Chain A
């Protein structure tokens, strides 16, 4: 039987028959959690009577959400994770060496092509860009994976998404994924895997591919898969923490649905409050006032995101009534941005640069919104209250639109700033 990438990966990890809709018991290659979902996972792990995680080099806790600890309660949560990791001899990184989990793990070769990866975080789908079947679960499921080294998965139907055409210089992965979510809606791919294809995808750098896969969950998807190509395999081989075997979809695989998106004349996109499907071309909402701009998160906190923000901000000033928060998603990104002189551009513009953390993305810390404030953010969710007050608003965009909006003090197309 010809298989989609999701099916091919599941088939390598199970003895059960693999067909869309079937439930299979699968081996798990890597299972991780963070400082919010970690403590309940630890509690359930103990309730299960488990003594040892299945393999300490394949189990991890990453303190990234409320770290560096924002208050006493979050310090306690991080401490609980740290102590459990020590007890188990499993992977844990301190502040100063960690990063937002979905940026840090691929950088460190801990998620690899062909693998099944579980994370107690919904944006685990990001790792689909590595060619891994990576999906988010809750804390109890994650604890079970730590205990058994396996989980159950329903084999998802797959939706094929093809990006065709040649994007303008103002377009990035974020615009492409927002265009899809605008088209199919927040539950358009509920319980499905997305598999990204097309000539416009081939031209994309890895950072933009992570952005695409990252937001599969915002369309309800279980994961957002990309078949490995030479670019990806070279990246993975350079960093791999263990051997891996890439897998690919068969050419004649059958898909439950397909969508084609032409990027040739596409404008940069934004998602207006309060759902990621509320997508508009930037020109339609240009002029909308913003109080804060956030560039960062597991969606757009990578080096090419910061480079493209710097391209817009170079020699410009953030509007005097606006604040711009820039948070590199990992220390590797942080160091690289510093080396390239991007920090000078940001600081000259009047931006605040913070240490890697999820920070304001989930309304944690480092830039919470007050009532009636509006933020344009490169993150992935604009739900009610996501970044602070339930009376605040979040608009989602790519880093160039965000940077341009910081200069203008309102939503605007980056060509208006640089032109």
Chain B
């Protein structure tokens, strides 16, 4: 996985739920590209067509609340977004993102980022640099157990290793 990410910010508020990240009417497939075409559609119809590889989703509290659909982080990853930065994440979304390899960062200062700011993230250091505003913020580090899981490449390689023990 690349550890330096760079792109422009798509900024949303609190409680962005999985129904708006990917509405149920599109859950008749789990194909990444089909889902990505409708990502964020119900809160921001311009997202799916406008997002460029590397761009980031920046949000407030409780990002990804609602259903357990893994289709939500899959749709975001498929849309080309390089990561999600939020003040906090709902717990199922948090696990799902780690499991499927969508980088997520918890950061208390997301309120300082505005739409289209150019953001650079150093995943290894956990720093978020706002190139547009000339500011740097720190992300909350992951617990050791999760760092190991992320280091292994997610849950699939972890289980594969456990099964061959």
Contacts and interface: CB of A to CB of B under 8 A. Distances in A.
Q: Do A and B come from one complex?
A: yes
A44 interface: yes
Interface string B52-82: 0000000001100111111101100000000
A120 interface: yes
B30 interface: yes
B4 interface: no
A364 B26 CA distance: 10
Interface string A31-53: 00000110110011001111000
Interface string B112-140: 00000000000000000000000000000
B42 A137 contact: no
Contact of A190 (B28, B62, B66): B62
Contacts of B156: 44, 47-48, 140
B19 A138 contact: no
Given A140-B96, A187-B61, A383 B68 contact: no
Contacts of A139: 30, 70
B145 A23 contact: yes
A138 B20 contact: no
Contacts of B155: 44, 140-141, 144
A36 B159 contact: no
A49 B69 CA distance: 23
Contact of B62 (A140, A148, A187, A385): A187
B66 to A, nearest CB: 6
A43 to B, nearest CB: 7
Contacts of A386: 19, 24
A73 interface: yes
A220 B96 contact: no
A186 B15 contact: yes
How many B residues are at the interface, by size bracket? Answer: 35 or more
Nearest to B145: A23
Nearest to B25: A363
Contacts of B20: 383-385
A182 B99 CA distance: 32
Nearest to A222: B91
A147 B156 CA distance: 11
Contacts of A191: 91
Contacts of A50: 159, 163
B65 A187 contact: yes
A144 B160 CA distance: 9
Interface string A145-186: 001100010100000000000000000000000000000001
A31 to B, nearest CB: 13
Nearest to B19: A383
Contacts of A120: 68, 70
Nearest to B15: A186
A113 interface: no
Contacts of B67: 121-122, 362
Given A47-B156, A154-B143, 18 more contacts: A23-B143, A23-B145, A23-B146, A37-B68, A48-B163, A49-B159, A50-B163, A73-B28, A122-B68, A136-B92, A140-B155, A144-B159, A186-B65, A187-B61, A222-B91, A362-B19, A363-B23, A385-B19
Interface of A: 23, 36-37, 39-40, 43-44, 47-50, 65-66, 71, 73-74, 77, 119-122, 124, 136-141, 143-144, 147-148, 152, 154, 186-187, 190-191, 220, 222, 275, 362-364, 381, 383-386, 390
13 contacts: A36-B27, A47-B156, A73-B29, A121-B67, A137-B92, A138-B73, A141-B95, A187-B90, A190-B91, A364-B24, A383-B20, A386-B24, A390-B41
The 5 closest A-B pairs by CB, nearest first: A73-B28, A138-B96, A138-B70, A140-B99, A390-B42
Interface of B: 15, 17, 19-20, 23-25, 27-30, 41-43, 61-62, 65-71, 73-74, 88, 90-92, 95-96, 99-100, 143, 145-146, 154-156, 158-160, 162-164
